């Protein structure tokens, strides 16, 4: 029983990771890809 539960969790985690949409914003200054909700570039600190 416990084995089945742990396997199910692993499968669910894998699916959520692959299906999760990732939106990135490219910095105009340095070209660094930052997460959509980022206000400043992680590389150079410029406003996105
Ligand atoms: Zn930048």
Query: CA-to-CA distance for 7 and 21, rounded, in angstroms?
Result: 24
pLDDT in tens, 15-27: 555 677 889 999 9
pTM over 0.85: no
Let me know if residue 12 belongs to a domain: no
Q: Using CA atoms, how far apart are residues 24 and 21, in angstroms rounded to an integer?
A: 10
Residue 15 lies in a domain: no
Q: How far is the CA of 31 from the centre of ligand 1 (A)?
A: 6
Centre of ligand 1 from the C-alpha of residue 47, in Å:
8
Residue 16 CA to ligand 1 center (angstroms) comes to 29
- If pLDDT is split at 50, 70 and 90, which confidence band does 46 have? very high
Residue 8 Cα to ligand 1 midpoint, Å, equals 40
Does residue 13 lie within any of the structural domains? no
C-alpha 40 – ligand 1 centre gap (Å) = 8
Q: Looking at the 3D structure of the chain, how many domains does it have?
A: 1
Q: What is the pLDDT of residue 32?
A: 97
Is residue 45 situated within a structural domain? yes
Distance between alpha carbon 2 and the CA centroid of its chain, in Å?
30
In a domain, 6, yes or no: no
Per the structure, the complete domain to which residue 46 belongs is given by: 23-48
């Amino acid at each position: 029983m416990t084995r089945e539960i742990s396997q199910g969790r692993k499968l669910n985690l894998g699916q959520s990771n692959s299906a999760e949409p990732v939106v990135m914003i490219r910095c105009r200054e340095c070209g660094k890809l930052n997460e959509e909700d980022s206000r400043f570039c992680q590389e150079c600190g410029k406003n996105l």
